[in-house]
Homo-oligomer: A and B are copies of this chain.
Amino acid sequence: MGLHRVVEPAGVLPQAAWRLDADPRIASNEVRIRVERLNLDAASFRQLSDKHGGDGEKVRAEVLEIISTRGKMQNPVTGSGGMLIGTVEEAGKRSPLGLKQGDRVATLVSLTLTPLMILDGLSRWDGRSEQVPCDGYAILFARSIAAVLPADLHPELSLAVLDVCGAPALTARVVAEQVDRRRRGGDARPVRVAVIGGAGKSGSLSLAAARRAGAARTVGVVPVTGERDALVAAGLADEVALADARDPVGLSTAVTTALGAPADVTVVCVDVPGCEHGAILATEDGGTVIFFSMATSFAAAALGAEGLAADVTMLVGNGYAPGHADLALELLRAEPGVRRLFEARLAAD
C-alpha cells in the first residue's frame, strides 16, 4: 500500500498524506515509470483554471509547486488528482503487477497516491488543458493498478477511457441489479436511467453501459445545445434533455419529462458543485443515485436527501471494480457513438 512512502503525517495511507517521498530508487515490490503525460482530474483542472482566471502560466506554476511540495499531484482544494501514462523503466523483483521494462502503461490509481517527480519543469505544457505532456518519474506500489495500453488504440484515447473506467463498471452493476430485482419481484416496469452530463467521458460510457445492462429507457442530460446535438448524433440515449444540473427543479423536470417518470438510477457525471439536490429530486423513491463527480459534497447529498424526505440510495462512485478497464475499452470499441464523442473531445483539447 506504499506506507513507507508517506512522509507526513505518519500512519495514514498515501492518498491521505500531505507529502510523499518520491525517491526514484524503488523497493523490491515497486515499479518505476518514466512519465510522458499526466491527465489532470477535470474538477482539479477547472478549480486551478478558475482560480487563475484562465492564465495558463500561473496554472502551470501552481501544478509544479504542488508536485514539488507534496511529492504527488493532488489539488489541495478539490482533493483530486488524475492519472498518467508512461513506460516501465524498472520493475522490482517482487512486484505483483506483472509489468516489465518497456511496457507502455496507464495508471488506474489516482495521482493523489502516486509518488511523482517532474524533471522538465512542465515546459511543454501551456496550462490550458487537462492533458499535461511532461518528463518525470512515478512509483507504483504492489497494490496499485496499471493497464498496458492496447495496441489497437491511440494512447491518448486509451488514457481518456481508462481515466473514467470505474463509471461504466459501477453503472452496469447497479442497473443490472435493479433489472434483476424487478424481475424477481414480478415487477414489469421498465428500468429508467438518467445520466447527468451524458455527453462527457464518464457520461457517454455510462449511458452505453446502462443500455447494455438492461435499462429500458435512458436519458442523457447536457447543459448546452452543442453537447445536445453531439449526444443525439451519437445515438447513445433514448432521449437527450437540456438542463442546468445545478437547478434542482429544472433538472428533475427535464428528467421526469424525458423518461415519463423519475429515474430508477441517476448517474452524476458533471464536474461542477451543487448537483446533489437535482439528482436526488430526479430519482424515483427506492431508486439509486451514483455520484461520480469529485465536486460532490458529502454533506449536501446526505442532508439534501433527508431534507427532501427522499428514500434514495446514494453511492460514492468507486473508481475501481474488477474488470473495469476491459469493460470500458470494449464499450469504446463496440459503440461508434462513444468513440466519436471521445475523439471529438480529444481533438478539441
Contact = CB atoms under 8 A, between A and B. Distances in A.
Interface in A1-55: 1, 3, 11-16
Interface in A42-84: 78-81
A315 interface: yes
Interface stretch (A187-195, A215-223, A293-301, A330-338): A293-301
Contact of A313 (B296, B302, B315): B315
A320 interface: yes
Counting chain A residues whose Cβ lies within 8 A of the other chain, the interface size class is 35 or more
A317 B305 CA distance: 9
A12 B79 contact: no
A16 B318 contact: no
Q: Count copies of this chain in the complex.
A: 2
B274 A16 contact: yes
Contacts of A80: 299, 303
Given A11-B247, A79-B300, A315-B313, A320 B306 contact: yes
Interface stretch (A107-115, A196-204, A235-243, A255-263): A107-115
A304 interface: yes
A214 interface: no
A154 B314 CA distance: 33
B3 A304 contact: no
A307 B108 CA distance: 8
A11 to B, nearest CB: 5
A308 B16 contact: no
A279 to B, nearest CB: 11
Nearest to A301: B316
A129 B313 CA distance: 32
A249 B109 CA distance: 19
Contacts of A313: 315, 318
A98 interface: no
Considering residues A144, A291, A299, which has the most beta carbons from chain B within 10 angstroms of its beta carbon?
Answer: A299
Interface centre among A14, A78, A319 (most CB of B within 10 A): A319
Given A298-B296, A317-B302, A307 B277 contact: no
Given A12-B274, A308-B143, A318 B302 contact: yes
Contact of A303 (B112, B276, B310): B112
A306 B13 contact: no
A321 interface: yes
A79 B300 CA distance: 7
A296 B144 CA distance: 24
A109 to B, nearest CB: 5
Given A277-B13, A277-B15, A79 B299 contact: yes
A151 to B, nearest CB: 24
Shortest Cβ-Cβ A-B pairs, 9 listed? A306-B319, A79-B299, A314-B316, A113-B307, A305-B318, A298-B298, A306-B320, A15-B307, A13-B277
Interface of A: 1, 3, 11-16, 78-81, 108-110, 112-113, 143-145, 166, 246-249, 274, 276-277, 291, 294, 296-322
